[in-house]
């Protein structure tokens, strides 16, 4: 005869095992659906509230392989560096949207942005941004020019931009676009103008 308390103990353990299995199975299904990655791709910092300003974001469109200026109204803080960060956040939100004209990889984020006088801006991307970026000359160039031109066109005084990944220098974004050198704002403006023409 099996003691009653042993039967109850085994039954409780079985129930817990079953419950845990169900929980793990549901979590796995959720990961497969991509719910977690979508949640991770959201900006961590709280959105800025207050009066909105009109700015021009330079948005990449993969279908035509072009860059188009897109006037938008977004709330911007007072500080120069915070404004620059907010601009890039607005741009990234477009790219991380479900209906994105130029999708970026899951978890892409801008870790930090520094404005170093005179005229130097340093954009620090996270590793997921570069590691999950699609590889190709045009697709990488569109990303780089979009970031640099959006900054230099809206923040007066930026003459050069450097892009880092995870705080470190990196040769290319995803095998093509050069990240080992500084980007000159006037040269990128010329590039952005050229990328606005489909032919």
Partner 1 sequence: MPWNNPRRSLAMLTFTAAIFLASALLLYSSPEEKRITIYSIAANYSLPVLDRNGDEYVGLLEVFEPLGTVSAKASGTRWKFRYNDMESEFTVGKTRARIHGGDFELPSNFLLENRRGLVPLSCLGTLMSRILGGPVTFNQNSRRFLVGNVAVHFTAQVSKTAPPKLVINFTAPVNPTIATEPGKLRMTFNHEAVVAPGSYALTFDSKIIPSASFQESNGAAEFVVAAGVPLIASFSDNGRTITLEPPPQATTPASSAQITAGTAIASPAAGPTATVASRRYFAVVDPSHGGEERGASLSDQLAEKDVTLAFARRLRQEFEARGLATLLLRDGDSTLSLDQRASLTNSAHPAIYICVHAASQGNGIRVYTALVPAVTENRGPFLSWDTAQNASQPLSRSVGTILATELQNKQIPARSLIAPLRPLNNITTTAIALEVAPPSDDVSQLNSPAYQQSIAAAVATGLANLRDRLGTDR
**For binding to partner 1 (CB under 8 A), which residues are involved?**
62, 65, 134-139, 141, 144, 160, 171-172, 174-178, 180-184, 187, 190-191, 194-195, 198-199
Task: Please report how close the Cβ of residue 127 comes to partner 1 at its closest, in angstroms.
Answer: 18
For 42, residues 6+ apart whose C-beta sits below 8 A from its C-beta are 96
- In this complex, which beta carbon is closest to partner 1, that of residue 89 or of residue 134? 134
- Measured torsion, CA atoms of residues 121, 189, 83, 101, in degrees rounded to the nearest 10: -110
What single DSSP character describes residue 159?
Answer: -
Least distance to partner 1, CB of residue 189, Å: 12
Distance CA 96, CA 89 (A): 10
Smallest distance, partner 1 to C-beta of residue 73, A: 31
| Nearest partner of 115 among 81, 155, 141, 92, judged by Cα | 81
Q: Which is nearer to partner 1, 115 or 144 (CB)?
A: 144
Residue number with CB closer to partner 1 (90 or 185): 185
Nearer to partner 1 by Cβ, of 85 and 152: the residue is: 152
At 11, list the tokens.
């039954």
């Amino acid at each position: 005869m099996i003691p009653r308390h042993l039967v109850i103990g085994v039954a409780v353990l079985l129930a817990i095992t079953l419950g845990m299995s169900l929980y793990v199975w549901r979590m796995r299904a959720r990961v497969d659906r991509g719910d977690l990655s979508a949640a991770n791709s959201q900006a961590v910092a709280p959105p800025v509230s207050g009066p909105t300003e009109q700015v021009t974001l330079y948005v990449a469109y993969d279908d035509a392989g072009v860059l188009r200026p897109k006037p938008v109204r977004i709330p911007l803080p007072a500080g120069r560096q915070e404004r620059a960060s907010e601009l890039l956040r607005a741009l990234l939100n477009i790219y991380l949207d479900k209906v994105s004209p130029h999708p970026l990889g899951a978890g892409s984020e801008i870790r930090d942005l520094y404005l170093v006088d005179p005229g130097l801006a340093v954009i620090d991307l996270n590793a997921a941004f570069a590691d999950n970026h699609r590889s190709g000359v045009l697709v990488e160039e569109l990303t780089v020019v979009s970031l640099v031109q959006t900054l230099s066109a809206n923040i007066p005084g930026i003459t050069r931009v450097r892009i880092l990944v995870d705080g470190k220098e990196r040769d290319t974004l995803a095998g093509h676009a050069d990240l080992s050198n500084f980007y000159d704002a006037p040269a990128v403006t010329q590039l952005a103008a050229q990328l606005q023409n489909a032919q």
